[in-house]
Amino acid sequence: MRKKILGFMVAAILIMGMFSVSSAADYRIGALFPFTGTLALLGNETFNGAVIAQDMVNEKGGIGGRKVSWVKADGVDPKKAITECERLIAVEKVKVVFGTYSSSLSYAASEVAERNKIIYWEQGGIADNITARGFKYLFRTIPRAGDFGVMAANFVNEVVAPTLKIDPKKIKVGIMFEDSLYGTSVGNAAAKRAKELGLDVVATESYSAKTVDLSSIVMIFKAKKPDVIIATSYMEDSILFWRQAKDMDLNVKVFIGTGAGHGMPEWAKTFGKEGNYIFNVDPPIGINPKVFKAETATLLNDFRERFNKKFGHYPAVHATAGFVGAQVLLETIGKAGSDDPEAIRKAALTIDIPEGGTIFGFGVKFAPPDHPAAGQNLRAHPVLMQWLDQKLSVVYPKAFAVAEPLMPLPTWEQRAKGQTSFIK
């Protein structure tokens, strides 16, 4: 009896094996995301965006007649991401790994893929160092953290200085950032870019996001009197700083946040009107549809409706990043005509999508292997938004803008009286 059962099980395993062989006609792509654990919410959301891209391709008969399927792998933390990536490559025999939403997971897992000469396609992790290792099989569609800081500095140079009628060489810039990897990469990039542009950087201060008091930074800015502050903060420190800035009557002409704290709905909820008119750099959502090529505008609409139908809500930035990443990947596989890593790598380097060609508005052109940011989409960039009536509206770059930027910020005294003195 026992032998019979054993025999049956062996047969079952063999049959299952045959099935997986017969379905090998599909393009099987590893999908490495934190599907469970603390990062699960946005991990799943991101992957859902990619699922819509897959649906769109499969409905049209797949890529060259071969359908696309995801092989899901759950990378809850960097350690697990490594073992799961190894499993995808060794056991599931995938040729492409798509992921990962979180930078630390991506950084760890892409190491494994590179060693095995397997394509690692990153759509969501923004840490600069992911594409600073000269990897040949790694590609990233989303902008880097540093691009957020660069964007803020460019805006000061191109828009703020002329509007306020201050010579860019004389405009005083204060930079503050929380001292983890995120804040440091954005803040340092902003400082570097500001110095390249010749802006007068009067203070560069970092702090721990876990602090319960930021009065010392407020005091430093009061002493150095910057015209512009560029800040990179998480939620609690962004709120703390703005409250203490009000307590001590710190007035600046322009305040630019660079993602995280300054872009969250909690900002408006906490400050109401007092949170208005500050700027924030974030990935391009809600941009002016004029940027899009005609077919991209249709695609964006199609994506939003399908997503809402399948998942019950409209996609926000993470799902959009998942969609854009998957869409460009599938296009690249189509171009390569196979999922052989070498062929995909060559095809990826020839991808040339102009501005307006993705639903993020930016185009796609990957940096070649000898570039310092090998594999990075050099056309990816965030946009600058402004809090108006407790909502974010895109104001820069001009082609993406839906509103005019308003400056200078009203002083706290003006705010109390409901006055503003914007320069037209």
Partner 1 sequence: MDLTILQLIVNGLLLGGMYALISIGLTLIFGVLEIINFAHGEFLMLSMYGSYWLFQLYGVDPYLSLLIILPAFFFIGLLVQRTTIQPILEAPPLNQIFMTVGLSMVLQNLALFIWTADYRTVKTSYSALTLKTAGLMISFPRLVAFLLAMGMISALLLFLKKTYMGKSIRALAQERKAAMLMGINVYRTYQIAFGIGIACVGAAGALLIPVYFVFPSVGSLFVLIAFVVVVLGGYNSLTGSLVGGLIIGVVEAFSGFYISPHLKEAIYFVIFILILLFRPMGLFGRA
Q: Which residues are at the interface with partner 1 (CB under 8 A)?
A: 179, 205-208, 210-217, 219-220, 223, 235-236, 239-240, 243-244, 246-249, 266, 269-270, 272, 274
Residue whose CB is less far from partner 1, 208 or 298: 208
Nearer residue to partner 1 within complex by CB, 36 or 216:
216
Residue 113: CB atoms within 10 Å: 26
With beta carbons less than 8 A apart as the criterion, state whether 380 and 364 touch: yes
**Among 142, 410, 181, which Cα is nearest to 274's?**
410
Identity of the residue, 20 or 216, whose beta carbon is nearer to partner 1 in the bound complex = 216
Min CB(156)–partner 1 separation in Å: 22
How far is it, in rounded angstroms, from Cα 401 to Cα 413? 30
In the complex, the smallest distance separating the C-beta of residue 217 from partner 1, rounded to whole angstroms, is: 5
Residue closer to partner 1 (CB basis): 205 or 404: 205
In DSSP terms, which residues pair with 119 in a beta bridge?
96
Q: How far is the CB of 307 from partner 1 (least distance, A)?
A: 24
Residue 318 Cβ vs partner 1, minimum distance, rounded to whole Å:
17
Tokens of residue 259, six digits: 């993602």
In the bound complex, what is the minimum distance in angstroms from residue 311's beta carbon to partner 1? 20
Closer Cβ to partner 1, 196 or 413, answer by number? 413
Phi/psi for 150 (5° steps) reads -60, -45
* Residue 240 or 374 with smaller CB distance to partner 1: 240
When the beta carbons of 211 and 288 are compared against partner 1, the nearer one is 211
Rank residues 271 and 360 by Cβ distance to partner 1 and give the closer one.
Answer: 271
- In the bound complex, what is the minimum distance in angstroms from residue 265's beta carbon to partner 1? 10
User: What DSSP character marks residue 300?
Assistant: H
E strands, 362-422, where? 383-388, 391-396
Distance between CA atoms of 424 and 406, rounded to whole angstroms? 8
Task: Kindly tell me the burial class for residue 388, based on how many C-beta atoms sit within 10 Å of its own C-beta (0-12, 13-18, 19 or more).
Answer: middle
Q: How far is CA 57 from CA 54, 100, 331, in A?
A: 5, 21, 9
How far is residue 183's CA from residue 186's CA, in Å, rounded to a whole number?
5
Nearer to partner 1, 215 or 393 (CB): 215
Give the H or E element holding residue 282.
strand 279-282
Half-sphere exposure of 383 (CA within 13 A, CB side): 26
- By beta-carbon proximity to partner 1, the closer residue of 179 and 342 is 179
Tokens of 355: 């501005």
Q: Shortest approach of partner 1 to residue 261 CB, angstroms?
A: 10
Among 320, 396, 330, residue whose Cα is nearest residue 358: 320
Cα(264)–Cα(234) distance, integer angstroms:
10
- Closest distance to partner 1 from the beta carbon of 266 (Å): 5
Smallest separation, CB 409 to partner 1 (Å): 16
Half-sphere exposure of 136 (CA within 13 A, CB side): 10
What's the min distance (Å) between Cβ of 119 and partner 1? Answer: 35
* Nearest residue (CB) to partner 1, 34 versus 341: 34
**Hunting for tokens 């400056």 — which residue is that?**
407
Residue 58 CB, nearest approach to partner 1 (Å): 36
Q: How far apart are CA 378 and CA 63, in angstroms?
A: 26
Residue 110's H or E segment, with its range, is helix 103-115
User: Is the distance from CB of 125 to CB of 32 less than 8 angstroms?
Assistant: no
**In angstroms, how far is the first alpha carbon of the chain from the final one?**
88
